[in-house]
């Protein structure tokens, strides 16, 4: 989500403007989940309860809005990973987070591809680093408890989650199928 420093202004963002930005990002996230990254900007504004001019004042292009949605969702995933670090079962904590990553991938159809094609490479790298760092903390904890085989990396697990999300994207019940496949895959990385 854009922060005050992301908006080209000399003054901090007013509270009502900040609320509008939050509503726009939330509406865009919901529409992307329903229709993919090509969701209508007019529909985003309508669902957010703001005018088209307000949307464009805060997000001058579709790309800027998509980047804000993506970054917001990555921050949520990373916060969830942080919360799960206190769980008593490190293996279950990792599994729970990987399922959340899978749900994120399924809910944001086409967003990653759209950002990779036209987006700011620094944002992609930054978000990738955030997710990798968050997941690596969970994986390291699970491996230290001898619940996940040594030698498995968070990058491998994230690729697996991404591949499952992509493979089930067009299934009638893609989320359920992705969840089942991910459960099978996670079982395969556990120590015996």
Q: What is the chain's length? A: 192
pLDDT of residue 113: 60
Question: If DSSP codes are grouped into helix, strand and coil, which group holds residue 13?
Answer: coil
**Continuous H helices in the chain:** 15-35, 41-48, 52-58, 62-84, 90-107, 111-118, 121-144, 154-168, 174-189
Rounded to 5 degrees, what are φ and ψ at 9? -150, 155
Token look-up 């040594």 returns 150
Below-50 pLDDT ranges, the chain: 5-9
* Strand partners for 190: 148
pLDDT of residue 53: 93
Buried/exposed 37-74: b ≥16 CB within 10 Å, e otherwise: bebebeebbebbebeeebbeebbeebbbbbbbbbbbbb
Domains of the chain in sequence order:
1-60 (1.10.10.60), 70-192 (1.10.357.10)
pLDDT of residue 8: 47
């Amino acid at each position: 989500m854009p922060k005050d420093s992301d908006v080209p202004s000399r003054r901090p963002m007013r509270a009502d403007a900040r609320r509008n930005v939050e509503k726009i990002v939330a509406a865009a996230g919901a529409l992307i989940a329903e229709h993919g990254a090509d969701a209508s900007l007019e529909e985003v504004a309508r669902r957010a309860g703001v005018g088209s001019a307000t949307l464009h004042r805060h997000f001058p292009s579709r790309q800027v809005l998509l980047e804000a949605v993506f970054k917001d969702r990555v921050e949520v995933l990373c916060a969830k990973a942080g919360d799960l670090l206190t769980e008593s079962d490190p293996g279950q904590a990792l599994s729970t987070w990987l399922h959340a990553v899978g749900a994120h991938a399924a809910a944001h159809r086409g967003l990653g591809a759209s950002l990779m094609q036209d987006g700011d490479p620094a944002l992609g790298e930054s978000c990738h680093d955030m997710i990798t760092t968050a997941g690596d903390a969970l994986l390291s904890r699970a491996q230290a408890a001898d619940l996940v085989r040594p030698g498995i990396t968070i990058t491998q697990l994230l690729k697996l989650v991404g591949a499952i999300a992509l493979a089930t994207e067009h299934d009638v019940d893609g989320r359920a199928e992705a969840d089942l496949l991910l459960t099978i895959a996670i079982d395969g990385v556990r120590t015996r």
